[in-house]
Structure 1
Amino acid sequence: MRRSRLLISLLLAAAAGTVTTAAVPQQRAAAAAPVPLDRVIPAPASVRPAGTAYTLGAGTRIRVPGNSAEARRIGGYLAGLLRPATGYPLPVTTRGGADGIVFRLGGRDARGLGAEGYRLTSGGRAVTISAARPAGLFHGVQTLRQLLPAAVEKGTRQPGPWRIAGGTISDTPRYAYRGAMLDVSRHFFTVGQVKRYIDQLAQYKINTLHLHLSDDQGWRIAIDSWPRLATYGGSTQVGGGPGGHYTKADYREIVRYAASRYLTVVPEIDMPGHTNAALASYAELNCDGQAPPLYTGTKVGFSSLCVPKKTTYDFAEDVIREIAALTPGRYLHIGGDEAHSTSHADYAAFMDKVQPLVAKYGKTVIGWHQLTGARPAKGAVAQYWGYDRTGAPERQQVADAAKNGTRLILSPADRAYLDMKYDKDTPLGLNWAGYVDVRRAYDWDPGGYLAGVPAGAVLGVEAPLWTETLSTSANLEYMAFPRLPGIAELGWSPARTHDWTSYRARLAAQGARWDAQGIHYYRAPEVGWP
């Protein structure tokens, strides 16, 4: 009894701040210690710890070059991120100075950094982010966020302190294309939901958002010349919900917002298969002139545009022309997967006619890797989604195309598909490619994944998120996190940094950050969260 009373008294006294034990100073010291420079995701190309930490304070200013509106915008973005939790005013100024958070654009400090690289130097007086281009400044800001305590992501004032470890990070990406795909066709997601996902992607230096805009279950983009595609073809989704579609203004807003986070939007219109929503909207797109009913199931491979009909190519050209006009990025994705209802000869003939239409309107073709079984256009990009059970002939076909100049985006389904279940108990997702735990999603090398493919043929990586079973932002986050950061690291970080043990520790530290942001992530048991 005396021991219980003593324990209660000690606890009450500790809560009041009147008891000091050896553990309390250690805990406070650990909380105050800055995040080591090498604890960020993606792993930086070069880290050199040195000197004293920089402490963000009430007088900190964000200094940006006066001749760059983009640098000023990024400075304002950073201030907006940091003000709620720190409570500091963090004014953005074009006045020069060697203190505070300093942006430098161009000059000697930016040599060798390319279009997206940055150099972050931290010391007692300042944190300086140098880059050759604004995208590099933005990526440097994402690293700066991770070097601050996780509580900086909260929307209300926190106690701090806000320290950034001393030293220098020099960082450039391994691959130019680092993508994530969001399927808005199986289930429709609003502009606001897409923006939320964009913000999550940007934190890990993803630079491409691939939007899967059409499929059997729904057509999601307004096309003026074929209005029923959206109004009728977009009126449902998997399970028979209300569906939805983006107006052209909606789509422009997604493109604008993505660009503000240095992501390029790649629109996909899947053809000639995965087209039931279009076939149901216009009878003339069917060989028999009869429109099928709308479809709300999840089977694949049963639909096809009518390859011999001239109307099919009028349709394809109108759609490509209108979407190309809305899309400033260089790529337009024409799908081409699982066209099981299209003969091989018809498939090749269709691709021969449609690929030039993409070029006609100033874009470069991306197609799923089945495109390599036809005749890929010069400069075309094939997106590989095969997996361990994919047969050698199909893999060889992709490798041969790569040797002949077709560049590849790697999205192996049993590694990079974020909709695959983590394990047998995962309540969401599918498992046709197997279970994909966090280590499996991370532990592969894009540079050597496909035998016979020249290393220079790999344009980059992409993490697709298909939504047959996903209908809310919380669903998306549960399947994307914690696997998405691993795919992002494969796309950004040098191959020599690839190490599961190191990555696992860095990933575990992200959990507190996601908690602060309200991200609904899966606490994968192999990660070892704090």
Structure 2
Amino acid sequence: MQHSPRRRSILLAGAVGLAGAAHLTSTAAAAPARTTPVTPPAPALIPKPRSLQMTGGRPFEITANTAVAVRHRAHEARRTAEYLATWLRRATGYAVPVVTSGTAPQAITLAADDETPSAEGYRLDVTHGGVHLRAAEPAGLFHATQTLRQLLPAAAESATPHAGPWTISPLHIDDAPRFPWRGSMLDVARHFFTADEVKRYIDILALYKINRLHLHLSDSQGWRLEIKSWPRLATYGGSTEVGGGPGGYFTQREYADIVRHAAERHIMVIPEIDMPAHVNAAQASYAELTCDGVAPPLYTGETGIPNSLCIDKDLTYRFIGDVLGELADLTPGPYLHIGGDEALVTEPEDYRSFISRAQQTVHGLGKQMVGWEEVGLADIAPSTVVQFWANAAKAQGALAQGAKLVLSPSKKAYFDMKYDADTPYGHDWAGYTDVQDGYTWDPATYIPGVAESQVHGAESALWTERVATFEEVQYMTLPRLPGIAEIGWSPADGRDWEEYRVRLATHAPRWSGLGWRYHRSVEVPWG
């Protein structure tokens, strides 16, 4: 810092005067210097909470005496407490017991709060004496633990314990999501990813309060789920992938384990079986699913190929009933996604008829139908969730029938779009989508004439024609995923790109600790 000549002379004069005073009163005790409490900067949380106040005072420290206390009636709260304690044990090396009775000084307490208006909302208070996480429902408590996780140093994400110190500045957070549907779609059909890899994907979703995992389980290049009534779908239709690799599929036990892993993190699995198009793998497995009774060869190409289930065959509807029935039994959530996109060789009237019958099947199984925007061309129930990806008119047609809209605009939320011309993976047909592009849009204003009340949420989509390994999935997901998480969770008027990109940069050490590869976008000041 530079001082003006006048300012410098005043400082020198003051110094001389003080020195003289000190000489005259050398036997007197020096007065203590006055200090002003310093409020620490707000933590770099993503998604940004609805309300956060730094309250000042001495920080809370996790020590060898810290416990996790449960004061919430729900059984799931105990499970969340165990999840948090397990994570803290790995990070710190401390015992971190979970207690349900008695007093626990210096505890992290999970408690009920019936005043929290949202099922996913929570309150979080940090004082020197303890941390309190309060929520009406277990989902809110879990989200609070993910906020707490981000309040700790990035070293806490390491697979081995670190020495700390593990301190958190005092604060109060009152938080709840803007939209109920905050999703991410992973295409396991074009390239197959194992159950363990999908569970790792779920873990990164949980950190950013994503609450829907949409699994694209079938396409022309592969069928990825064991169906016991039609076993060749998986054993033959799942035997390859784009480029001719060995492919693979989830056994029903593996799929159930994915669903359980997600549920423990309050993430709902939305399974998609694409129909009536994108069915080459199914038709290669069973010739009777074609109109001419001739099975096509397995397909390992990258681009889509025209095909359709045979709309006039009764067997077609037995097939979808069997497949969706087994899927419904394995999936406790209320939704089944039937795809419905790009049915380019299905006649419009046949398409409408097929979607109507598929919808009846879904409803008969006690589920709600989800479909891509094209299903809005058919007669659909108001309970339908329609996923917009490109065509506003089709989405508006669905809204006219009372459906709810989830936005996955290809120009903003498709994670298979390249960041820039140098990105080694993915496509560019919808344009390049760097981090700023993926952050600076709003679901309530993206489609003209669509009201916020008609929007159910937002969802990213990662198609994998040109994303072949899980390391490549990581690279295309980060650093874009936190942006769509914030779009779905945080109030629109609190979002600002310049402020966000600084927050985002601080998360890179956390990703490295988790062993995640990420793209170092030039738009983010990584430091």
Normalising to structure 1: TM-score of the pair?
0.90
Report what 1:61 is aligned to.
67
Deviation string, structure 1 residues 276-335 (Cα, Å, up to 9, x no partner): 000111111111110000000012251111111111111111111111111100000000
Report what 1:188 is aligned to.
192
Moved more, 151-160 or 120-129: 151-160
Unaligned runs of 5+ in 2: 1-37
Are the aligned partners of 1:38 and 1:47 in contact in 2 as well (CA < 8 Å)? no
Q: Do the aligned partners of residues 323 and 434 (structure 1) sit closer, same or farther apart at CA in structure 2, a change above 3 Å counting? A: same
Aligned partner of residue 332 in structure 1, secondary structure: strand
Q: Do the aligned partners of residues 432 and 35 (structure 1) sit closer, same or farther apart at CA in structure 2, a change above 3 Å counting? A: farther
Pair 1:42-2:47 in alignment: yes
Report what 1:330 is aligned to.
334
Aligned partner of residue 64 in structure 1, secondary structure: strand
Are the aligned partners of 1:208 and 1:264 in contact in 2 as well (CA < 8 Å)? yes
Are the aligned partners of 2:50 and 2:491 in contact in 1 as well (CA < 8 Å)? yes
The partner residue of 1:170 within 144, 167, 174 is: 174
Q: CA deviation at 1:446?
A: 0.7
Aligned partner of residue 89 in structure 1, secondary structure: coil
Amino acid at match of 1:399: Q
Report what 1:515 is aligned to.
512
Report what 1:14 is aligned to.
none
Pair 1:448-2:445 in alignment: yes
Q: Do the aligned partners of residues 407 and 371 (structure 1) sit closer, same or farther apart at CA in structure 2, a change above 3 Å counting? A: same
Deviation string, structure 1 residues 100-124 (Cα, Å, up to 9, x no partner): 34334324xx413421111000011
Report what 1:396 is aligned to.
393
Q: CA deviation at 1:241?
A: 0.8
Amino acid at match of 2:64: A
Aligned residues: 489
Are the aligned partners of 2:212 and 2:267 in contact in 1 as well (CA < 8 Å)? yes
Are the aligned partners of 1:66 and 1:94 in contact in 2 as well (CA < 8 Å)? no
Q: Do the aligned partners of residues 35 and 364 (structure 1) sit closer, same or farther apart at CA in structure 2, a change above 3 Å counting? A: farther
The partner residue of 2:95 within 69, 77, 89 is: 89
Q: CA deviation at 1:357?
A: 0.4
Pair 1:363-2:367 in alignment: yes
Report what 1:3 is aligned to.
none
Matched residues in 1 for 2:71 and 2:112: separation?
10
Are the aligned partners of 1:37 and 1:147 in contact in 2 as well (CA < 8 Å)? no
The partner residue of 1:102 within 101, 108, 113 is: 108
Matched residues in 1 for 2:151 and 2:392: separation?
41
**1:276-315 aligned within 5 A:** 276-315=280-319
Report what 1:29 is aligned to.
none
Q: CA deviation at 1:35?
A: 7.7
Pair 1:528-2:525 in alignment: yes
Q: What is the root-mean-square deviation of aligned Cα atoms in Å? A: 1.5
Q: CA deviation at 1:521?
A: 0.7
Are the aligned partners of 1:147 and 1:164 in contact in 2 as well (CA < 8 Å)? yes
Pair 1:407-2:412 in alignment: no
Aligned partner of residue 270 in structure 1, secondary structure: strand
Pair 1:77-2:77 in alignment: no
Are the aligned partners of 1:102 and 1:127 in contact in 2 as well (CA < 8 Å)? yes
Q: Do the aligned partners of residues 76 and 93 (structure 1) sit closer, same or farther apart at CA in structure 2, a change above 3 Å counting? A: same
Deviation string, structure 1 residues 388-440 (Cα, Å, up to 9, x no partner): xxxxxx42342243143110010001100111100000001111111000000
Deviation string, structure 1 residues 449-503 (Cα, Å, up to 9, x no partner): 1111121111111111111122222111100000001001111111111110111
Q: CA deviation at 1:156?
A: 2.1
Deviation string, structure 1 residues 202-248 (Cα, Å, up to 9, x no partner): 00000111110000000111111111111111111001111111111
Q: CA deviation at 1:159?
A: 2.8
Report what 1:459 is aligned to.
456
Report what 2:141 is aligned to.
137
**1:473-484 aligned within 5 A:** 473-484=470-481
Deviation string, structure 1 residues 346-398 (Cα, Å, up to 9, x no partner): 11111111111000001100000011122222311110011xxxxxxx42342
Are the aligned partners of 2:382 and 2:401 in contact in 1 as well (CA < 8 Å)? no
Matched residues in 1 for 2:177 and 2:77: separation?
20
Report what 1:431 is aligned to.
428
Of structures 1 and 2, the larger Rg is shown by 2
Unaligned runs of 5+ in 1: 1-32, 387-393
**1:194-213 aligned within 5 A:** 194-213=198-217
Q: Do the aligned partners of residues 494 and 254 (structure 1) sit closer, same or farther apart at CA in structure 2, a change above 3 Å counting? A: same
Aligned partner of residue 41 in structure 1, secondary structure: coil
**1:23-42 aligned within 5 A:** 36-42=41-47
Moved more, 113-122 or 93-102: 93-102
Aligned partner of residue 196 in structure 2, secondary structure: helix
Matched residues in 1 for 2:171 and 2:103: separation?
19
Deviation string, structure 1 residues 145-182 (Cα, Å, up to 9, x no partner): 11111111112232321111111001000011111111
Matched residues in 1 for 2:305 and 2:451: separation?
31
Are the aligned partners of 2:40 and 2:54 in contact in 1 as well (CA < 8 Å)? no
Q: Do the aligned partners of residues 198 and 260 (structure 1) sit closer, same or farther apart at CA in structure 2, a change above 3 Å counting? A: same
Report what 1:238 is aligned to.
242
Matched residues in 1 for 2:40 and 2:450: separation?
39
Are the aligned partners of 2:116 and 2:135 in contact in 1 as well (CA < 8 Å)? no
Matched residues in 2 for 1:93 and 1:34: separation?
32
Report what 2:18 is aligned to.
none
Are the aligned partners of 1:103 and 1:137 in contact in 2 as well (CA < 8 Å)? no
